[in-house]
Amino acid sequence: METFDSKKTSLYEILKNIHEGKIQLPDFQRGWVWDDNRIKGILASVAKSFPIGAVMLLETGNNSIRFKTKVVEGAPESNGVKPELLILDGQQRLTSLYQSIISNRVVKTRNSKGYEIKRWYYIDMQKALDPATDLEEAIFSINENKIITKNIGRDIVLDLSTRELEYENLMYPVWMVDEYSDWRRGFNRHWNHSSDKSELWDEFEELIINSFNHYMLPVIEMKKTNPKEAVCQVFEKVNTGGVSLSVFELLTASFASDDFDLKEDWAKIESKFKSYKVLSKTSEIDFIQALTLFSTYRKKVGLESSGEKDNLPAVSAKRKEMLNLEIKDYIKYRDRITEGFIKTSKILNENHIFNSRDVPYLNQLVPMAAIITQLDKNIENVGNKNKLMQWYWCGVFGELYGSANETRYALDIVQVVEWILNNGEVPKTIFDANFIPSRLNTLRTRNSAAYKGIYAILMDDNTRDWLSGTKIDFSTYFSESIDIHHIFPVAWCEKNTIPRDDYNSIINKTPLSGRTNRIVSGDAPSKYLDRLKNNVGVSDEEFLDILKSHVVNPDYLYQDDFYAFFNDRKERILQKMGIAMGKVIVREYEALEEGEYLSEEDEFDEYDENVQLELSL
């Protein structure tokens, strides 16, 4: 079955069909105005019969691909006329040619500085026929009034404001190319049928007018039998605008054909998410992906429960399935998925992840929200919630979500739900998770998911700030500006020749308030701890308990023994990680060094590919 047809079509025929509404744009096409120089350039190419590239059109009439459409900018309203073809590639070329040749209206464009201007386009007939002059120099634009002046408007350089002045100055209006016979009659009358002017016209018509009217444009016409996925993929590959088309935009155009505004609906959902800091970076694509994952899961489970075993649909959140999401499924599940994301945020808050900056893997929220949506009220069971978090921490500390994860998403929702509700087999994400102890030494910035995860679990044992003595929870995290800070200060470490790679490791960091960190300053722990104890106003025993809540042995801090502290805390952190993952972390494995990063402020969740390879061995 043919999916496309390639042929040459008259440019004039295409522009005429645009004018009549037979060729329109899918609503996902963005508006974009070519600048004045590019419009003159494409007019010159057509006049010289040079190629301007193929355009791609999509045949309409496929019930599975129904887009809201719009007329090409400058064309009359369609008044209910249904298009026969939609422009996928070539929007700007066809829009520029339509507006300058067919519309008979001034063209809205931009100058070289990007300012909006209005221009009419003309061809200087004498220059166009001069062999010594490049045809491109013969094509020019003029302002809306068709008058060029100098000396602040006092002197007129060129006036083309009437048809007679066009004749007199031998300036041919581009927008009359398709109606040249009318202009020619007026031109001959104006010059009293002068033989030399008639000869000029004949030569101009043969060389320039005929080039426009006989210009054939290569057209690739996609058949209506193509699926949405193919349309989207082709658009992205050939779109000369250079702006990638998202699944959300394509779905927006598709849903609009059923009078449903997906953008407006997402805006309402996004406004609900604003109250939850963990969700501040959740995108419309994340939402659609989670909903698609849940929808395909529900269809598969529904068919299995009804006894159907043949041709079961795949559980998936891949691009193809997102593009095939039906509006009825979107409407059916959007509120449940919205609540699933909100519950995800609340559960992560309970586990000391309080904002999007500290979420180890933002993309892991996709399967998590879908899983929580399916679990529904069962997630309120403490045992079920603990199992969910075991899966979550295995994904984080196993560093399993650092690249394309759609296949893992599908396994997760099927396996985690079955594991939690029916005590099924251990999910692959838990089985695959592995953490090599030496990897701890290399975790130095928020670029690493495991770094963020450790930061969170360091706060899960009633961890208290060293200065205020208050427990670090959702409220105090923000009110006291909690962040991760060095235990052995940088200044002290450098003074005592501790390597930067060691003192910057997560092992030497802990969550503290900004005020606490200022009191710590750059002193040795033995000095700043006494200052802190005096400020917090508690007994020696209680102060030691506050220090221990940070997974440290206070003795090594008071002794200013960095490496005794470092090795002891490394072991304590590994124990906490093992508990969170529900797995034994084998101590003798070695990890490669992580990549170099600019600063702790960089927000990337990727890590060096060599580390990923080493961890998988």
pLDDT digits (tens, 9 = 90+) for 372-404: 999 999 999 999 999 999 999 999 999 999 876
Give the strand order in the sheet containing 23-26.
4-10, 216-222, 55-59, 85-89, 23-26, 69-70
C-alpha–C-alpha distance, residues 532 and 350, integer Å:
28
Q: How confident is the model at residue 424 (pLDDT cuts 50, 70, 90)?
A: very high
CA distance 350 to 373: 18
Using an 8 Å Cβ cutoff, are 35 and 110 in contact? yes
Decide which of 69 and 604 is more confident: 69
Residue 65: the pLDDT is 62
Ranges of H-type helices in 170-318: 180-190, 195-204, 210-213, 228-238, 247-256, 262-273, 284-305
19 vs 306: which has the higher pLDDT: 19
pLDDT of 599 reads 30
Instruction: Give the contacts of 492 (CB within 8 A, at least 6 positions apart).
Output: 522, 523, 524
CB 409 within 8 A of CB 374: no
Tell me, what's the pLDDT at 48? 92
Half-sphere exposure of 319 (CA within 13 A, CB side): 13
What is the reported pLDDT for 608? 34
Length of the chain: 617
SS3 content of the chain, % helix, strand, coil (to 5): 55, 10, 35
pLDDT at 258 over 80: no
Chain-centroid distance of CA 383 in Å reads 36
- Looking at per-residue pLDDT, the higher value among 240 and 563 belongs to 563
Distance from C-alpha of 123 to C-alpha of 535, rounded to nearest angstrom? 84
The yes-or-no verdict on residue 615 having pLDDT over 70 is no
User: How do residues 330-386 score in pLDDT, each as one tens digit?
Assistant: 999 999 999 999 999 999 999 999 999 999 999 999 999 999 999 999 999 999 999
**How is residue 582 annotated by DSSP?**
T
pLDDT the model gives residue 310: 60
Specify the pLDDT at position 1.
Answer: 53
What average pLDDT does the chain have?
87
Burial grade of 199 (CB within 10 A; 0-12, 13-18, 19 or more) = exposed
What per-residue confidence (pLDDT) applies to 306?
Answer: 65
Q: What is the pLDDT of residues 433-489, one digit of tens each?
A: 999 999 999 999 988 999 999 999 999 878 998 888 888 888 888 888 889 999 999
pLDDT at 302: 80
DSSP state of 593: P
For residue 476, the one-letter residue type is: T
Percent with pLDDT over 70 in the chain: 88
Structure confidence at residue 304 as a pLDDT band (50, 70, 90): low
* Model confidence at 602: pLDDT above 50: no
Mean pLDDT of 277-302: 94
Q: For the residues 417-437, what does the mean pLDDT come to?
A: 95
Comparing C-alpha atoms, which of 32, 508, 483 is closest to residue 243? 32
- The residue type at 98: Y
Structure tokens at 166: 């066009």
Task: Give the confidence band of 118 by pLDDT, cuts at 50, 70, 90.
Answer: very high
